[in-house]
A and B are shown apart, each in its own frame.
Chain A
Amino acid sequence: MHLLVLVALTCVGVSAGEAVFVAHDLGRWAEVQDCVAAQGLPSGGGRAAALLGRGADYDRCAAGFDRTRTTARAAGALTVPVLAWLCVLGEGLVTPRRLRRRIRRRAPAADAAAIVTRRFEHWCDVLGLTGRRRPRLVVAPAGRDRQPYTTGVPFGRLTVAVPSGYGYTSEGERDLIILHELAHVRARDVSWTAATGWAGVLVVPVLALAMLPVFLQPALATGSYRRSLLIAAVFAAAALLLRSAARRRRERAADRFAVETGGLAEVLRTVAPAGNPRPRWWPGRLLATHPSGPDRAEAATNPADWEGGFAVAALLGLLTMFGGRALLTLLLNVQGGVLPGIRDEQIVELVTAAAWSAVATIIWVRRTPANRRAWWARVLGSAAGLTAGWLMPSVGSLSLSSVHSDLIEGHEWFFALWVAPAWTGVAAVAAGLAGDLSARPSGWPRAARTIVVVLGLTVAVCAVLETMSLLTIAHWTWADVRADRAMLVGSTGFPRLWAAGALAVAALAATRVTRLRGTLVIMAAALAAGGVVATIAAAQPTGDVYLWLLNRWWMCAIPGWLATAAVLARRGEVSSALLAGAVVTVLGGVVQFARDSTVGGTFRLDRLVDFLDRGGWLWLVLILFTLPVAVLLGDLLARVVRRPRRALVRLGLLTVPLVVAVLAATGAVATGRTGMITGMPDDVKCLGRPVYPEEPDTEPRACVEDPGRPLPVDRLRAALAEARRSLPAGWTPAAEVNRGDLLSQLSFRCPGRAPEPAAAVAETLTVPGSALPPLGSPLTLGLASYPSTGGAHQARLSADASARACPEWTFPERLAEGGRWRIATSGGTDLALPYPLSFTRVTATARIIGLPARVVAASVAVEIGHNLVTVALQHSAPPDGSVLPQEQNQLLDGLLLRTVWLIIHALQE
């Protein structure tokens, strides 16, 4: 908790550093602008200059700007926590001196001081506080010091001040406050809690500093600074809330210690209500540094988890995800990557997953939830924090921070609908495993099991993070659910390959295997038999082989999922349920493999790996999205079970959902409805393999008319319409603005091309990327007719000139790492046509949120007498690397060739 406060305070410091940078113009912005103006560069920033091919000039003008900005942020991040520490140090030195001065002015009553001192020494002896650990006691005179407190220099000898009034109270009350303060001494709260206490004082002026530029230059509030300010405000609020929560938590711990050590529950219940009254308004309750008197009295009789755990879990999730994003920003500044062969994004995913899994598991194992409400508070808090942390931009950085928010812009509901439930599932799995672990006695065996659970959860969370990144970029690229489905199951990397297995090992570490044996055997036998029957019934595929294979992976996953649900309903232990499900899934895979080896007649070990790996992944996906629902049903069931007369209702609640689940799962597999989640037959074609137009006749036809004749506009349109009719069904042209049109950027970027002659008539048709397989690939058909044959010839050469002028260049794009795409242009081709042609291929590569992105565009211009036929196509490869560059080029070339032939045939008729 204190660490979280420190992180939040550091983040506020970063924003304060940014504020100082902007307010005092440390980056010499005016000089940068002067330089830009002197060089004749556009004032719209580096992007506009880069478009004119003068990005390097702009970078020279802005040299040092980013470095100074980073330094200012780092200084802010360091200064604010150091300042908090210095404040603690100063107060630790000043407060005891002030106290002694007050005593010299007005000494407390001697008898009261003697009574208090006697009890204080007694409890110090009982608790074994000796040497420097034994605090000094100062009995404060009546007046300013009305409540007892502990003060001092952190890690030094502390001073406990007790008002003289406690010499006249009951001994129980006296003991209560002495033990309370000694609890703070034993826990070294002054060293940590005091620092967080000063966070509350510092955060207000730091936030004011962060807002300074807005007061000085209100126009900044509408620019990019608004985001930094918003982040500063959020973290300032988080620092305040966390600081208060941390202090309340320590006060409760001290109360608990005093009550347990002195047997003073009754005294606390009597004394506490006279203490701090409950704040009248709710923000006051959140910001209070002490629990209210009534709350403390209540806690004396009910020492449960008072805060439920929602806030802590939410903040943990938020800060972990946010910290991961900040780490990625840092790593991406390292040229060539941190570790060879491993993407920076993967490192960050691993670190983020490990941090969250370790902290959440350790906290939850040590603190057993008091009731089911507290358990759900943890789960929902984690889901809220992780979702918010995943969606929110990183602090400070203007180029990378908004990548996620830009990618999901316009699709917020789509992401909210699956990200939040996925994180809820992750949190439910973690809370369930931790809960089962906490039931074991503490000691090194439990510690070892905790480590295994943390490692297992890390791999699973890492897999979830990677899938989220893949889905995000895929949905941004294609905005189509077919692409999302392909990303969900189409490829497996390290985390996904091992996720289900790692989670099974974690479940094994958290559960008691001996008590599980009977259930496991029954479930495995029944469900594996079901799998065999289903597989044999499916027989050999008559349709799409890939869909048939997907269905068989489902046949491994669904029995595992049902086993999980059944064991959860029977035993209520998440770890046992996960272990049962994993074992049944593995058995399902083995049965499928056995079926191939015997009935199918093929013995392929790679198929076995696929059944285990992809079946396990599908099982994990099912678990994440349905476990919270299953646990909720279990909790409802448990409420009914309390009443013995409701045995029938209990049976119904247990049986009906299971039967419904079995029927739904069987039906989905039998009818192929599983494809709605993992893919329909055409999905892969839509992404990577094109549906070609009808094979054109490449032999010269008997010409009805000369294709090189000058065309009137109606004939030109008719030819294009004829060509379009030959395209596959559904390839309907429509007006669509294609983002990142590489070919038009090429003509803009390389203006040195020869001036094009004006065409007499010209027409283009565009088949939008949303309609055309491969998905996201707009196809443009163009036909222009020139008054002379020289016109068409000159126009074709002009296209060639662009490719030669710019063999390699970069294109500014803020979503790309480093802010640029790297682009290569080439002109050669193997396309065979009986007419002169020019071919241009543009390949753009970049990394977006750590994933490799590749877009290829190709265009061909064919000169036929007076006419110029142009066909252009752009294709984005899936970010998982499932389509190789060569395949991508081949499919583009094939499509271009066939489309060109369609237009030529239309011209001949």
Chain B
Amino acid sequence: MSVSGPAIEEEVDVVETFRLSDLAQDIVEAIAPDEAMLLPEVSAAWFDGDLELGDDSSLRWRGGTIGAGLTPDLVVYIVYPLVAGALANAVVPAAQSGWKRLRARRRRHENVVISAEDLRRAEEIRDLILARAAAARIAESRARPLADAAYAALIRRRPPEE
């Protein structure tokens, strides 16, 4: 599976309008509609490369600031890292080696188009979301509704079988 390259270009006509941000919106509206207003801000942060999974490591080694050690328990903060990672079938940043993680931190993300192939792999993507959440030490109780919502959104958009 890939999110760019020649193979995708051929299928763009089929699922042209369904992008990663659309999938994230579907998920948030399904399981946390109260947080939908925060989604544009979070989306902008994600595509700027300012959002990542795990705790806020930028405060871990600094002395001049005193962090609370708590982050808001919101779905919008985890939806992009989990879903985009699952779509890319990439290694979880939190489980990556330090150097790779450092390089990945500042990388801008693309609002990729979700291919028909991805839509047909809805079950696999749900499992990948759960695996990615487990690797990032996100409780399954938080990750499962999100994975199920992603699965449902992908199924809804799946093109009819020929």
Residues of A within 8 A of B (CB): 84, 87-92, 95, 106, 108-109, 111-112, 141-151, 163-169, 173, 176-177, 180-181, 184, 189-190, 193-201, 247, 250-251, 254, 271-277, 289-291, 293, 296
Q: In the assembly, what is the distance between CA of A145 and CA of B137, in Å? A: 20
Contact present for B45 and A274 (CB under 8 Å) = no
Q: Which residues of A contact B116 (CB under 8 A)?
A: none
Q: Are A198 and B64 in contact (CB under 8 A)?
A: yes
Is B76 an interface residue when CB atoms closer than 8 A count as contact?
A: yes
- Would you call B129 an interface residue if the criterion is a C-beta within 8 Å of the partner chain's C-beta atoms? no
**Is B35 in contact with chain A by the CB < 8 A criterion?**
yes
Q: Would B67 and A148 count as touching, CB distance under 8 A?
A: yes
Pair B72/A290 contact, Cβ less than 8 Å: no
Contact B72 A173 (CB under 8 A): yes
- Kindly supply a per-residue 1/0 record for chain B positions 89-103, scoring 1 wherever the CB is within 8 Å of any chain A CB and 0 otherwise: 000000000000000
B35: contacting residue among A168, A180, A193, A293, CB under 8 A: A168
> Judging by beta carbons under 8 Å apart, are B45 and A142 in contact?
yes
Pairwise interchain contact A193-B66, C-beta atoms closer than 8 A: yes
Contact with A along B42-77 (1 / 0, CB 8 A): 101100101100011011111111111111111011
Residue of A163, A166, A274 with highest tally of chain B CB at under 10 A:
A274
Chain A residues with CB under 8 Å of B65's CB are 91, 95, 149-151, 190, 194
Q: How far is the CB of B118 from chain A (nearest CB, A)?
A: 26
Contact (Cβ within 8 A) A147 B70: yes
* Contact between B50 and A144, CB atoms less than 8 A apart: yes
The 7 A-B residue pairs whose C-beta atoms are closest, nearest first, are A197-B63, A91-B64, A290-B69, A198-B63, A143-B50, A143-B45, A165-B72
For A148, what are the chain B residues with a Cβ–Cβ distance below 8 Å? 67-68, 70
Contact A95/B71 with A142-B77, A143-B45, A146-B77 known, Cβ cut-off 8 Å: no
Given A143-B48, A147-B56, A165-B77, A177:B70 Cβ within 8 A: yes
B142 interfacial by beta-carbon distance below 8 Å: yes
Contact residues in A for B37 (Cβ distance below 8 Å): 109, 111-112, 168
Chain A residues in 8 Å Cβ range of B76:
142, 165
Contacts known (A141-B45, A165-B74); A291 close to B69, Cβ less than 8 A: yes
- Chain B nearest CB, measured from A269 CB (Å): 13
A87 near B35 (CB under 8 angstroms)? no
CB B94 to nearest CB in A, in angstroms, measures 10
Q: A147-B68, A149-B68 are in contact. Are A200 and B61 (CB under 8 A)?
A: yes
Interface size on B, residues (CB 8 A): 35
Q: Is A112's CB under 8 angstroms from B55's CB? A: no
Q: B38 at the A/B interface (Cβ < 8 Å)?
A: yes
| Known contacts A111-B37, A168-B37: A289-B72 contact under CB 8 Å | no
Q: Please state if B70 and A201 are interface contacts (CB–CB under 8 Å).
A: no
Residues of chain B within 8 A (CB-CB) of A167 are 38
Given A106-B44, A168-B38, residue A146 in contact with residue B71 (CB < 8 A):
yes
Tell whether, in the assembled complex, residue B72 and residue A166 are in contact, meaning their CB atoms are under 8 Å apart. Answer: yes
Whether B41 lies near A142 (C-beta < 8 A) is: yes
Contact A149 B67 (CB under 8 A): yes
A271 touches B73 (CB 8 A): yes
Q: Which residue of B lies closest to A150 (CB)?
A: B66
Chain B residue numbers with a CB within 8 Å of A197 are 62-64, 66
Q: Which residue of A lies closest to B64 (CB)?
A: A91
Chain B residues whose C-beta falls within 8 Å of the C-beta of A181 in the assembled complex: 68
Report Cα–Cα, A198/B70, bound state, in Å.
21
Nearest Cβ in chain B — how far from A327, in angstroms?
Answer: 29
Please name all residues of chain B whose beta carbon is closer than 8 Å to the beta carbon of A92 when the two chains form the complex: 64
Max chain A Cβ within 10 angstroms of own Cβ: one of B48, B62, B70:
B70
Closest approach, in angstroms, between the C-beta of B120 and any C-beta of chain A?
32
